[in-house]
Structure 1
Amino acid sequence: MNARIIFDLDGTLIDSAKSLTLVGNKILSKIGRNSITEEKYKTFIGDGLKKQVERLLVWSGGIPEDGLEKYYLKFLSIYQSDPVSNLSTFPRAIETIKFLKEKGACMGICTQKLREPSMKILEELKLVNDFDQFAFGDTLAVRKPDPEMINYIMQNDIDGTPTIYVGDSEVDAKTARNAKIPFILFSEGYRKSSISEIKPDFWFSDYANLPEILLNYLGNFD
């Protein structure tokens, strides 16, 4: 397959909402605040971990006087020590990644998640060797929706290689548009808007359907 397929991580390949919510509730408990539900926490995901912690604190009563950084670092320490417990993948996501790799696709990861927890997760899922390029939240000085994250992954590709970004959110859609590449929306992730509002080039709700979408777009898997 002569194509570069780039995937987001949280909300696209993995469902990390439960593990993030559990850490968030540990932080809230330490400062005497009410716990948050997983469904509510999902609305905080998409702009990096520090933004998640900021939204969590604001939602629960405001940022304490000792500042956001303190609670971000506490959250980060707890989460990075064990990012794989309570983690799940979306149905048929792993099988689809393996299939696309076997067909010869160049695979990349573009995520706001930091390198350390991302690599632990990919290693746990035995997916790390299926991807050859990575742009994490701490790889560059910028984050999504800046197109430099996509450009970083594409930097060694041959000119003219079709490139597609697969993600689940408004930020992912904007990233693809900024990079001037097609965007495929996984509709079962953490998006806050309707599919019609996000305006993806293609979308799917079941990973079993992704190869067919790619086949229709690329013309073949050779």
Structure 2
Amino acid sequence: MRTVIFDLDGTLADTSVDLLAAANHCFRVMGLGDLLTHPMDAKIALRGGKRMLTEGLSRAAQMKDTTVEEYYPVLLDAYREGIDTHTVMYPGAMEAVESLKTAGYGVGICTNKPEALAELLMQRLGVRDAFASLVGADTLAVRKPDPAPLFEAARRAGGTPEMCVLIGDSDTDRNTSANAGVPSVLVTFGPAGPDMAALKPEALLHDFADLPAIVAELIGTNAA
């Protein structure tokens, strides 16, 4: 079976405000105040917790590797508490997911967010049951851009790994699909949208309504 595998942050959902809030909580605990702002730092937020801590501490001239590692668990705890305060699914995302399922595709998620947090977020948003699989950063011993998590997400969704397509929003997703030898579709409506064309994916997605047709063109259909 052919499968469509989605990245989460910046692809299915705009999580940037809640991620930045968690990072700023850490900076306030350090006595540095809020160091990251939205929307200016939305792209940094979608690079993950350690990247946010690194950027903020660099701006404050407080950069130490030990500080990042020390406060990363603090950030995760803060994020867990406010994980769905401002996060929303992108317009048309779930309609596209349901259209793909109706057309016979398996649908899953492959994210570099820790699996437990990804599960919690999708449950809080009320959409977890729409996806047959969810593979996070710590589900396997490796994470994207290694292709193994993508292939695992496809398998758990009932699909043949080599017959999947990855929907994402970053060079990490583009590199994952390239390493896997499968096509990628990069969204242009996320924080890093203007940068996506330069990555030369197999397709760009400007509106989720267009996704089923793009998928069919790239990997075919599951029709007999």
> TM-score, normalized by length of structure 1?
0.88
Structure 1 residues 65 and 196: CA distance shift in structure 2, 3 A: closer
Please report how far the alpha carbon of residue 141 of structure 1 lies from its aligned counterpart in structure 2 after TM superposition.
Answer: 1.9
How much identity, in percent, do the aligned residues show?
28
Residue in structure 2 matched with residue 4 of structure 1 by the alignment: 3
Q: State the number of aligned residues.
A: 221
Residue 28 in structure 1 maps to residue 27 in structure 2: yes
Whole-angstrom CA distance in 2 between matches of 1:131 and 1:192: 24
- 8 Å Cα contact 1:45-1:190 kept in structure 2: no
Which residue of 1 is the match for residue 204 of structure 2? 203
- CA shift for structure 1 position 81: 2.4
1:184 counterpart SS class: strand
CA contact (8 A) 1:186 1:203 kept: yes
Contact 2:23 2:52 in 1 (8 A): no
> CA separation in 1, counterparts of 2:208 and 2:77?
33
Q: Identify the residue that residue 100 of structure 1 maps to in structure 2.
A: 100
> Which residue of 1 is the match for residue 217 of structure 2?
216
CA deviations 1:177-210 (Å, max 9, x no partner) are: 0111000011112337633321010111111111
> How has the CA–CA distance of structure 1 residues 81 and 221 changed in structure 2, closer, same or farther, with 3 Å as cutoff?
same
Deviations 1:64-115 (A, max 9, x none): 5862222111111111123111111111111111221232211111101011
Give the TM-score normalised by structure 2: 0.88
What's the counterpart of residue 162 of structure 1?
A: 163
Distance 1:161 1:64 in 2: 41
Change over 3 Å in CA distance of 1:62–1:109 after alignment to 2: same
Q: Is the CA contact 1:103–1:221 (under 8 Å) kept in the aligned structure 2?
A: yes
**Structure 1: runs of 5+ lacking an equivalent:** none
Distance 2:159 2:192 in 1: 32
Alignment root-mean-square deviation, CA: 2.3
Contact 1:49 1:113 in 2 (8 A): no
Matches within 5 A, 1:22-171: 22-35=21-34, 36-63=36-63, 67-155=67-155, 157=158, 159=160, 162-171=163-172
Tell me which amino acid in the other structure corresponds to 1:6: I
Q: C-alpha displacement at 1:6, in angstroms? A: 0.4
Any unmatched runs of 5+ in structure 2? none
